[in-house]
Structure 1
């Protein structure tokens, strides 16, 4: 963007992306993750259908600021201005207030997301969206949400094999647009020099695998399954998703974990997010909610089979999944949940199931998937959509609120990031959040992951305990690969 075009935009917008595009045939997103180290605050990638790389990979570097929501207060930093404010009864209203003044320029050649917030929402946000029991003591000091105000980006175009080095120029009433533009160009040049430096990494050292701790252990978890079934028999719930945590000492590098997980479990939502409290490394298959223009989309996944060894076996397994009464019943329930959630913010008569019980194949598994969309009621924004759909029904059960109350009773501690959402909220009103599953968490000197099981009337407790082990297998394999020197 030249100076005249920038000054033209400065009269209409106060967040303007300035960029330079270069060839990327000698660099990769993972290569830059190692080259730039901890300067990379996030990396967002996608493998569509588990087999085809999405067009863009986005690395986020130095942010303009950050917003951290705690149960009692919010920590807000924008440029040099830092302050703490009460969260109040509605954390999402606070986010809306803090971001409503940003007006992004719509610059051609920039991907769908280039300015806004990137981060995560904890599952415990639900305590502010629905009437729930009091937060558990351990959750009081943990963030409900951590969100970065995006400034510096490196955007890989995996089709053109180019990269754009983007600096978002933030303007206020006291800004000199020419000075801001020149500073942005200088920042781009500095980033270019860092990108051109050679990678200075050493081969990962092979380490002994530590013991994996499981909380709760099998016997306790199986007793919880039986307790949930008592609620189901009493007619209080149809399904309840309870989870447990697997953890071990943190002996792996964050970038190594990401590299291993994207190999072991390629998914539509691959992400690495560094925050002061936790690092998240994820490979989620499922959107939590997406907003494009005035359309909101939820895409429930329920029902899984492994991929077959050949085309014939693959089709046999797909037919088996499509005709499994239990899998179909669970899927119908989750589609109904999605329709009800979107109906809270939709124009009357616009909620539609645009795909129903289709097979979606990934590298290692296939899923039963549906797609539910709605046109938003006038005046509804991203934060209204989050409030209506959070958390995903696939991580709670049904009826949703009663299922969450039972989860609160059964699980001894907070879920934290698990079952919440990761993604972006653009200043332009666009949004794409995935469910935080298939995710490694580095925190307090440990690596952990959670996995859940959907408990129904005829669940077998031992089988449900084993299901959590199977669901966590990809994360465990990724950790093993990372501490084994990334050897295949």
Structure 2
């Protein structure tokens, strides 16, 4: 049985930092921070889940069925991720590209200890809790002194696909579009460092500080780490309501307010960026309609412009009501991988992506989140993220952009470099 205790938190910002620092002692950690970003569908400002009581780790084969059984058996909080390559469990697809990270395709755990922060109210939820342990932990967290750790050695960050090769590959994508094989695809490339020793806690703090995104995640599973500054929600369930918020459309931020406002306005009116967003909105509508109550799929906002620390983004919000004949895992399986990271038509785009990309995506462009005991859930899209295999000393981050018939290869390349900026800055 899980027991909850509530405590007032006078300084939520300081407490979040102490919470993450205290969590480093555990083998399994998920820390999620909304960074006080104003958003309509936020259930919590911050969540920390640590210390697995039970867990599920698997490759793509039969993964959704395994997750369904795990979720229905535990009927408890579950935290974890689904990697992009679970596409191979849904469709007759393959992932044969190079993988330097070697993360499992799916990992979820049932935590012994959960901290849920909303405003200045903290809920602490422990499995098989004794009051003494909880009070001792809380005291430890409040007394945590963040230490400035030694700066790790500088990394030699390499680009998996050269600029010349990138431009050639985008030309091939455009040829596929002109032949009618697809009309949009998200094409990604990897940046990486070998023999890399980094402090994941320190790097996450820096990445989060310069990005302040609404779906930031620090994830640890023993030697596997995800440090994510993603601004994108994949899918959330609240009661019977499903909410998806794909991002398609990016422009640079400027220090000059007038220039910055102009960039925002230009993004809102850009026909190419709008076409990208509308095509993916349509794809998400189609995906949701497979598990939604008839007539319940709606576009609440189309091509809204939102500003983040590094970039302006175009975001649409699509909602639906889950048909009672489907369960929560069905909702994820019907919409996975997310439209913003694949393309349209989805299966054709994924085949072409696999053919032209040079790295297995793994957790990049997958999703991290949680299931609540009542079946509600919230999952992000893993972009703007650093992945680290501590054992193999391999660091990786990937970036991508949507290729459509209106794409100019040079501009797509520049967009990728813009998206890579924050991760590059943190690692170097």
Same-fold status (TM-score > 0.5):
yes
SS across alignment from 2:52: coil
Most deviating of 216-225 and 131-140: 131-140
Q: 1:20: how far off?
A: 4.8
The 8 Å contact of residues 281 and 441 in structure 1, kept in 2 or not, is answered as: yes
Matched, 1:467 2:409: no
1:47 is paired with a residue whose SS is coil
Q: How does 1:217-232 map to 2 (within 5 A)?
A: 217-232=162-177
Whether the 8 Å CA contact 1:239–1:456 is kept in 2: the answer is yes
CA distance in 2, matches of 1:25, 1:47: 14
Taking the TM superposition and a 5 Å limit, the aligned residue runs for 1:165-184 are 165-169=124-128, 183-184=129-130
> In the TM superposition, what are the counterparts of 1:200-239 in structure 2 within 5 Å?
202-239=147-184
Query: Residues of 1 paired with 2:348 and 2:16: CA distance?
Result: 43
For the residues of structure 2 that align with 1:165 and 1:378, how far apart are their CA atoms?
31
Q: CA deviation at 1:445?
A: 0.3
After superposition, the Cα gap between the structure-2 partners of 1:192 and 1:142, relative to the gap in structure 1 and judged at 3 Å, is closer
Contact 2:95 / 2:354 at 8 angstroms: preserved in 1? no
Alignment partner, residue 151 of structure 1: 112
Summarize deviations over 1:29-59 as a string: whole Å, max 9, x none.
Answer: 2223224423271211103547999853222
Query: Counterparts of 1:256-271 in structure 2 under 5 Å?
Result: 256-271=202-217
After TM superposition, give the deviation of residue 314 of structure 1 in Å.
Answer: 3.9
Q: Which of 16, 19, 30 is the equivalent residue of 2:5?
A: 19
Offset, 1:140: 12
Contact 2:79–2:109 (CA<8 Å) still a contact in 1? yes
- CA shift for structure 1 position 192: 3.0
1:328 aligns with one of 270, 274, 290: 274
Partner of 1:12: none
1:310 to partner: Cα distance = 5.2
Q: Show the counterpart of 1:101.
A: 73
TM-score (norm 2): 0.90
Q: Which runs of 5+ in 2 are unaligned?
A: none
Q: 1:153·1:167 contact (CA, 8 Å) conserved in 2? A: yes
Paired with 1:253 and 1:141, the residues of 2 have a C-alpha distance of: 19
Determine if the alignment matches structure 1 residue 117 to structure 2 residue 78. Answer: yes
Question: 1:364, 1:44 → 2: CA distance?
Answer: 20
CA deviations on 1:302-335 (whole Å, 9 max, x unpaired) are: 1122345455444433321222111111111011
**Cα distance in 1 between the residues matched to 2:38 and 2:385:** 16
SS of 1:128's equivalent in the other structure is helix
Deviation per CA, 1:329-349: give whole Å up to 9, x if none: 111101101111101111111
1:55-112 CA distance string (max 9 Å, x none): 53222222211110124xxxxxxxxxxxxxxx5xx32122111221344xxxxxxxxx
Shift in Å at residue 212 of structure 1? 0.8
C-alpha distance 256-233 of structure 1, shift in aligned 2 (>3 A): same
**C-alpha RMSD of matched pairs (Å):** 2.6
**1:43 aligned residue:** 31
C-alpha distance in structure 1 between counterparts of 2:202 and 2:230, whole Å = 18
How far apart are the structure 1 equivalents of 2:144 and 2:376? 36
Asked if residue 34 in structure 1 is aligned to residue 6 in structure 2, the reply is no
| Alpha-carbon distance change, 250 to 299 in structure 1, aligned in 2, over 3 angstroms | same
The match for 2:263 among 317, 328, 331 is 317
Q: Judge conservation of contact 1:345–1:380 (CA < 8 Å) in 2.
A: yes
Contact map agreement 1:48 1:54 (CA 8 A) in 2: no
Deviates more, 1:360-369 or 1:387-396: 360-369
Structure 1: where are the runs of 5+ without partners? 1-14, 72-86, 104-114, 170-182, 481-488
Q: Does structure 1 retain, via aligned residues, the 8 Å contact 2:297–2:319?
A: yes
The CA distance in 2 between the partners of 1:349 and 1:198, in whole Å, is 52
Aligned residue for 1:6? none
CA distance in 2 between counterparts of 1:415 and 1:155 reads 31
**Conserved 8 A contact 2:228-2:384:** yes
Confirm or deny: 8 A CA contact 2:57 2:104 kept in the other structure. yes
Give 1:152 shift.
0.4
CA positional deviation for 1:16: 2.7
Structure 2 CA distance for partners of 1:140 and 1:37, relative to 1, 3 Å: closer
Q: SS in structure 1 opposite 2:73? A: coil
* TM-score with structure 1 setting the length: 0.80
Instruction: State the distance in 1 between where 2:335 and 2:43 align.
Output: 25
Whether contact under 8 Å (1:296, 1:373) holds in the other structure is: yes
Question: For the Cα contact (< 8 Å) 2:155–2:196, is it kept in 1?
Answer: no
Does the CA contact (< 8 Å) of 1:70 and 1:140 recur in 2?
Answer: no
Aligned-pair CA distance for 1:393 = 1.3
Q: Distance in 1 between matches of 2:66 and 2:278?
A: 35
Stretch deviating more after TM superposition (204-213 or 322-331)? 204-213
Alignment length (residue pairs): 422
Asked if the contact 1:301–1:368 (Cα under 8 Å) also holds between the matched residues in 2, the reply is: yes
Deviation at 1:418, TM superposition (A): 0.7
